[in-house]
Chain A
């Protein structure tokens, strides 16, 4: 799966497809419009102030034009030299969400891989956006469970991460940065 920043074209394709998916899966198209509106505002009005820049990313399956998940990221300038990249939310497409709720094994696999790509992609985006700390938010139970297990795995594997939990946040920094 690919983790790519959304542009106007990708946003419009996502809005069109996701509202259709909501409609055919007994969901609410206007709810999808409301959930995606922040991306339109972001693309129209800019990224916000310099200390809190929002970014919209999509998780795409190979060759797809519409993402299976949309991610909201924020770059926060903590101090002059310290920048955080926060993954605030991973929103699954209405089709994947409906199938996951129905217990569809393929959809569950897609959702898990989308969460994986969101975490991995956010980590890579740190380099592009010059951030030294990654904060991942466990917005729902699935994401929180993944982050909690990831923390235990990182701590038990003797990795080069300084990993800790702050409420529903998983905070990742390189040990070399903290020393």
Chain B
């Protein structure tokens, strides 16, 4: 692999890594929101 090809490969990898991190953070946020909603439903059920 030439140095030019290697740099292109590293750049493509970094771009994918940034996309993966963004998707991971969004997924973690969604799971967290669901957990909060579920615990609120539990509280409402317990109160009723």
Contact = CB atoms under 8 A, between A and B. Distances in A.
Interface of A: 112, 116, 119-120, 123-124, 126-127, 145-146, 149-150, 152-154, 157, 159-161, 172, 174, 176
B12 A176 contact: yes
Interface of B: 9-10, 12-13, 15-17, 19-28, 30-32
A146 B27 contact: yes
Given A146-B27, A154-B20, 9 more contacts: A116-B24, A119-B20, A119-B24, A120-B17, A120-B21, A149-B31, A153-B24, A157-B19, A157-B22
Nearest to A113: B28
B48 to A, nearest CB: 23
A160 B17 CA distance: 10
**Interface SS of A by simple majority:** helix
Contacts of A123: 16-17, 20
A174 B27 CA distance: 19
Question: Top 5 A-B pairs ranked by shortest CB distance?
Answer: A149-B27, A153-B23, A150-B27, A159-B19, A153-B27
A144 B39 CA distance: 20
Contacts of B12: 174, 176
A152 B30 CA distance: 11
Contacts of A160: 15-16, 19
Contacts of A176: 12
